[in-house]
Amino acid sequence: MAHDHAHEHDPHDHDHGQAMPETALRVKALESLLVEKGLVDPAALDAIVDAYENRIGPRNGARIVARAWTDPDYKARLMKDATAAIAEFGYSGAQGEHMVVVENTPAVHNLVVCTLCSCYPWPVLGLPPVWYKSSAYRSRAVIDPRGVLRDFGLSLPDDVAVRVWDSTAEIRYLVLPERPAGTEGLGTEALADLVTRDAMVGTAKVAGP
Amino acid sequence: MNGVHDMGGMHGFGPVTPEANEPVFHAPWEGRVLALRRAAGAWRRWNIDAGRHTIETLPPAEYLRLSYYEKWFESTIKLVLGAGLVTQRELETGCRDPAVPVATPPLTADKVLPAIMAGGPTLREISATPRFAAGQAVRARDINPVGHTRLPRYVRGRRGTIECDHGAHVFPDSNAKFEGENPQYLYTVRFAARELWGEAANPADAVYLDLWEDYLDAV
């Protein structure tokens, strides 16, 4: 019976969204009721899902980073007023209304978290991955950021300062990673291909080509 | 509130385990929950702070057991019930009350992208001047409000330094209770890792939080 099978998932699987079938059924029932009452438009629901599955994701942030690496004037605007500089690309709005960019250097490494919920810069990175929303990340990023980075395979020397940004208000943070060596001849699209979501949260560096 | 959601600095949750090639949604219902919450939110019967508080007030064991989108779903049910958009009886039967006229949805498909692009800015103009300036030493207040707050326990009573101000923003503690936006200056405050976690922390490390004026005292 499907119902019983669902309970065989361990909590780890459950955290990764392997929900019990009754959750899917209850969501469907709520949707049907809200549609029947004229409270929500099913086509609007489809459009919201489409926006976050297909239009708004970390490729947006990667383009910002590549531009900042190649255009010093743009980088200056980005560091001074990130919201406006990001809007130049047409990226704005929900969960990115007030943006700040923090820059990684050989001496400083930045890491973004939201300990109280899971605030994340949606217009430039899309929806957050499961690990960003996990209790493990939210609890440890502030007390043991270097240990969290080691979970991602990144060991930082003691003399590199780690700055953790806990997104407690409506300011959303994007990390500007260091440009890797060996990328001097690359154009912005090729550079953007190298920039990962994790590098823009601060749990990774950008690897060279 | 001193809830289990306020987990900064807790131990025991294990390592962070990233998933390779993670999909945006792990099942279609997750996307529907996101969409339902946003589309129902277009009725403007609640605000983002009240929405967060409904998640925080899930029973602690439930909060830890449920996935992110399951928490969103449970809190969306609380919100639509609390706002009177649906009744308990409608939820239980799955049938709408025929005595209530069918409504017209405020959010239609053509308005979705413009609404996402506009978002909900929280910056407000106020006449007061900022109480603190960059470089100033402050202490996070040792307060324990039972309602919604964005002042985590791990900084309460700790000394920090004002990094910058972001202008005046809607104050979540009052907004979540529908007691008004009470906009006030919002500051990024730098706390040395050693101030928060003791001598074992790296002296070069720091944690930055965005804190409202009502959370701070001058030192």
Which ipTM value was assigned to this complex? 0.97
Query: Among partner residues A45, A138, A168, which is closest to B210 by beta-carbon distance?
Result: A168
**pLDDT by residue (tens digit) across B8-47?**
999 999 999 999 999 999 999 999 999 999 999 999 999 9
**pLDDT by residue (tens digit) across B139-163?**
999 999 999 999 999 999 999 999 9
Residue type, B213: E
CB-based contact, A207 to chain B, within 8 Å? no
In the predicted model, what is the mean pLDDT of residues A180-207? 97
> Residues with Cβ < 8 Å from A193, sequence gap 6 or more?
A62
- pLDDT tier, A21 (very low <50, low <70, confident <90, very high otherwise): confident
Stretch (H or E) spanning A101: strand A98-103
Among A119, A134, A135, A167, the active-site one is A119
**C-alpha–C-alpha distance, residues A166 and A144, integer Å:** 13
Best to test chain B binding among A34, A100, A124, A125 (most B CBs inside 10 Å)? A34
- Say if the Cβ atoms of A41 and B208 lie within 8 Å: no
**C-alpha–C-alpha distance, residues A3 and B197, integer Å:** 45
Domains in chain A and their CATH numbers? Answer: 39-201 (3.90.330.10)
Active site residue A135: no
Residues A15 and A130 sit within 8 Å (Cβ to Cβ)? yes
Among A32, A92, A114, A139, the active-site one is A114
Residues of B in contact with A112 (CB under 8 A): none
For chain A, give the mean pLDDT: 92
**pLDDT by residue (tens digit) across A158-177?**
999 999 999 999 999 999 99
Best to test chain B binding among A88, A116, A137 (most B CBs inside 10 Å)? A116
**A54: closest chain B residue by CA:** B24
**C-alpha–C-alpha distance, residues A159 and A209, integer Å:** 27
The pairing of strands B137-140 and B216-218 is antiparallel
Compute and round to an integer the Cα radius of gyration of chain A. Answer: 20
Q: Which two tokens stand for residue B118?
A: 């506009």
**C-alpha–C-alpha distance, residues A80 and A67, integer Å:** 15
Q: How many CB atoms lie within 10 A of CB B59?
A: 9
Is A140 strand, coil or helix?
A: helix
- Say if the Cβ atoms of A30 and B8 lie within 8 Å: no
Active site residue A92: no
In the predicted model, what is the mean pLDDT of residues B61-85? 97
- Say if the Cβ atoms of B73 and A26 lie within 8 Å: yes
**A116: closest chain B residue by CA:** B6
Q: What percent of chain B has pLDDT over 90?
A: 100
**C-alpha–C-alpha distance, residues B160 and B140, integer Å:** 8
- Say if the Cβ atoms of B24 and A57 lie within 8 Å: yes
CB-based contact, A105 to chain B, within 8 Å? no
pLDDT reading at A16 higher than 50: no
Query: What angle, 0 to 180 degrees and rounded to 10, lies between the N-to-C axes of helices A42-50 and A21-36?
Result: 130
The pairing of strands B137-140 and A161-166 is unpaired
The predicted structure's pLDDT at residue A14: 45
CA distance A183 to chain B (A): 25
**B91: closest chain A residue by CA:** A30
Geometric angle at alpha carbon B194, from B193 and B195, rounded to 5°? 90
Residues of B in contact with A83 (CB under 8 A): none
Compute and round to an integer the Cα radius of gyration of chain B. Answer: 20
Residue for token digits 């090639």? B21
Q: Which two tokens stand for residue A88?
A: 């130049």
pTM, to two decimals? 0.94
Among A32, A92, A118, A139, the active-site one is A118
The predicted structure's pLDDT at residue A20: 57
Q: Which two tokens stand for residue A63?
A: 């383009």
**C-alpha–C-alpha distance, residues B135 and B188, integer Å:** 11
Residue type, B135: G
**C-alpha–C-alpha distance, residues B80 and B181, integer Å:** 21
